[in-house]
Amino acid sequence: MKRELDNSVDDQDICEVEHILKKRTRGKKTQYLVKWVGHKDPTWEPAYNMNGCKEALDQFEGSSKIIRKESKYIPPKSKYNLMQERYYSEPWKMLVGCILLNVTTGRQMKDVMLEILERWPTPKHLTLADDDELRELLTPLGLANKRTLTLKRFSQEWINGNWTLPDELYGIGQYGCDSYRIFVLGEWDKVSPTDKELIRYVEWMRENNCNTTLAGGKEN
């Protein structure tokens, strides 16, 4: 997937798309955040610069359509700086974090999670990940073989889309499902979490009389 660029990537007229990370609208124009082969930093590219990159666009649109459909709730920002508060608008990534947090700490998993999402930024990419490469990256967290299987099977079931709540997906238990309901669906007042960090967040929400706020500033 190669693309001739105007001026976005210096000193090269033709660059190869590694993958598309995000999409945004500026005014009435669509832009994509593109990771280029051989370049460390991604760049925002206008849609007209993506002609000839149908495979990358189809892969991105297909793997992210569920994310965009569900990301209507904006959770209030707390003092706890939870992983879920950063990834609420990208629930697949948030649930990857929940899988990695199983039997480990946030400090241990942070760098590993960032590296995984850098190498395999969508569920489709992660299903195609080399097992040995992924296993090596997961080794510092322990349970590397199990986590490798879980991440890949979970991502495939996410893509299939035959689910309502994430505890129907492989490897997602109460912690992941509670995180999804609290931070993605805004059902924090209907959930009784058992994880101490989620308990603190829900208690903070109640103490501050937080409302359920949708994207665009509307409240439920």
**What is the SS3 assignment for the chain?**
CEEECCCCCCCCCEEEEEEEEEEEEECCEEEEEEEECCCCCCEEEEHHHHCCCHHHHHHHHHHHHHHHHHCCECCCCCCCCCHHHHHCCCHHHHHHHHHHCCCCCHHHHHHHHHHHHHHCCCHHHHHCCCHHHHHHHHHHHCCHHHHHHHHHHHHHHHHHCCCCCHHHCCCCCHHHHHHHHHHCCCCHHHCCCCCHHHHHHHHHHHHCCCCCEECCCCEC
> Of 58, 130, 178, 195, which residue is the catalytic one?
195
Respond yes or no: is residue 130 known to be catalytic.
no
Q: Which residues are catalytic?
A: 195
